[in-house]
A and B are shown apart, each in its own frame.
Chain A
Amino acid sequence: GAVVSQHPSWVICKSGTSVKIECRSLDFQATTMFWYRQFPKQSLMLMATSNEGSKATYEQGVEKDKFLINHASLTLSTLTVTSAHPEDSSFYICSAKEAGEIDTQYFGPGTRLTVL
């Protein structure tokens, strides 16, 4: 149980284009989903917390107009990187908290974004 999927697993795009990453909880309902970014050899950096049906809460320093997050249902959250630039190249990982569970986060497999 507690499986989280992400799509795509990797994407290469041109500078200036937008990329959408999907995060799905496959066998549970996730009231809260988290989006992380991880640069090589560094720890996870929380970008934003999204609650189903409400606006995402962004961490300090994360541009909400650049990283659009939508959590329209209890099983799906999307992150759209708008006008991507090479410095946005990173490993983007989502996680989900099961409704009723206190804290355990289950992670998706991650999406590797490369912006040329």
Chain B
Amino acid sequence: GQNIDQPTEMTATEGAIVQINCTYQTSGFNGLFWYQQHAGEAPTFLSYNVLDGLEEKGRFSSFLSRSKGYSYLLLKELQMKDSASYLCAVTDSNYQLIWGAGTKLIIKP
């Protein structure tokens, strides 16, 4: 079957760095997405990785290793507004998007 694993919840301190991991087992791979979702709101697109390596976008970076079926989202200089759920999603060989359950990130002052 197809499976995406992320930690359910993480806690970090304002100003610090946090890494949210995502591992996947899917039938084929055509890209991995990270989305941010604040409570009661729809997800917003953060990043897309299709090749191995690190993609940096301001305070957020996303890393992919296709051979390991592994990605992480790195958030630097954490702000209180970064408190949200972070969803990992993978596009399989049929271009179907498979969603992880999301990681709830709690930022403490």
Contact = CB atoms under 8 A, between A and B. Distances in A.
Interface of A: 34, 42-44, 46, 91, 93, 102-110, 112
A103 B41 contact: no
Contacts of A91: 40
Interface residues of B, number: 19
A42 B104 CA distance: 11
Given A103-B31, A103-B48, A109-B41, A44 B99 contact: yes
B42 to A, nearest CB: 4
B23 to A, nearest CB: 16
Between A42, A44, A107, the greatest number of chain B beta carbons within 10 A of the residue's beta carbon is seen for: A44
A44 B85 CA distance: 12
Interface of B: 30-31, 33, 35, 40-45, 48, 87, 91, 95, 97, 99-102
Contacts of B30: 102-103
8 contacts: A34-B97, A44-B43, A103-B30, A103-B91, A103-B95, A107-B42, A108-B42, A110-B41
Given A102-B31, A110-B41, A43 B91 contact: no
Contacts of B45: 104-107
A110 B31 CA distance: 25
Nearest to A111: B42
Between B43, B48, B99, B102, the greatest number of chain A beta carbons within 10 A of the residue's beta carbon is seen for: B43
The 10 closest A-B pairs by CB, nearest first: A107-B42, A110-B42, A43-B101, A93-B42, A103-B91, A43-B102, A107-B43, A109-B42, A103-B31, A44-B99
A103 B34 CA distance: 12
B97 A105 contact: yes
Contacts of B33: 103-105
B97 A103 contact: yes
Contact of B87 (A44, A106, A110): A44
A112 B42 CA distance: 11
Contacts of A109: 41-42
